[in-house]
Structure 1
Amino acid sequence: METEPKFEMGGLSLTPGALNLLDPEEVLNSLNRHQRGDWGDCDHEDAQANDLALVEGTRVFSVYHDRRDQKFWIITEADRSMTTVILPEEY
C-alpha cells in the first residue's frame, strides 16, 4: 500500500451521528486510509469508480466499519473542498 496521499481532502466535517458514535482515533485512521486510496469496505464497482475519480476529479466515497461494526462513510467532494464523515442513516 502506498503511503503518500493521493488527493487533497479539503475541510473536514463530521455529522452529529458520526461525532457521537465513532471513536476519534478510528475516524482519523480511516481518513488516512481514504486519502491514500484504501477504500475500505467498498464493493468492487465503487472502488473502481474511486480510482477513476482520482483521474477525472469526481467525488470519492469510502466505506469503513469501526471496532463495534458501526458502518460509516467518508465522502470527499469532487472539487476536493470538503470531506465528510457520515453514518449511512444520516445521508
Structure 2
Amino acid sequence: MTTSTFAPIVAQFRLGKVFATPAALTALETAKVSHWDLIRRHARGDWGEVNESDRRENYDAMAYGLRILSSYALPTCERVWVITEADRSATTLLLPEDY
C-alpha cells in the first residue's frame, strides 16, 4: 500500500473504530491506494461514486444517526465501500461482495 503524508482527519461525523476486511486491504494494496485516503474522503462527506439517492440518504444519515455509505472505484476497476454504522461505533472498508 502506498503511504501518504499524514494529515489529520477532519470528520463531519464520528467514525468509531476503523476496520477493513482482508479482501479490501488486498485490493487497496494491489491498487496502491491508501486506506487512510478513502477514510479521509468518507469522513469529509466525499461519498465517492454513489447515486443521487444514496447521496441524499447520507446527508439525512448524518442528521438522524443512520448508516453512512461511500463507494470508491480503484484504479484496478475494483470498488471499495466505506460504511459507518448508525451508532457511529465503527467504520469498515470492504468490497461489495464482503457485505
TM-score by length of 2: 0.83
1: CA distance, partners of 2:33 / 2:87: 26
- What residue is the counterpart of 2:68 in the other structure? 60
Q: 1:31-50 alignment to 2 at 5 Å?
A: 31-50=39-58
Q: Which residue of the other structure, out of 10, 18, 22, is the alignment partner of 1:16?
A: 22
- Please list every run of 5 or more consecutive structure 2 residues that lacks an aligned counterpart in the other structure: 1-8
Q: CA deviation at 1:25?
A: 4.3
Q: Which residue number corresponds to residue 30 of structure 1?
A: 38
The residue matched to 2:34 in structure 1 has which SS? helix
For 1:74 and 1:14, locate their aligned partners in 2 and report how far apart those are by CA, in whole Å.
9
Give % identity: 39
- Could you say what secondary structure the match of 1:73 adopts? strand
The answer for unaligned runs of 5 or more in structure 1 is: none
Partners of 1:20 and 1:47 in 2: CA distance: 27
How high is the TM-score relative to the length of structure 1?
Answer: 0.90
Q: Aligned pair count? A: 89
Q: What SS does the aligned partner of 1:85 have? A: strand
- What's the counterpart of residue 11 of structure 2? 5
Name the larger-Rg structure.
Answer: 2
| 2:59 corresponding residue in structure 1 | 51
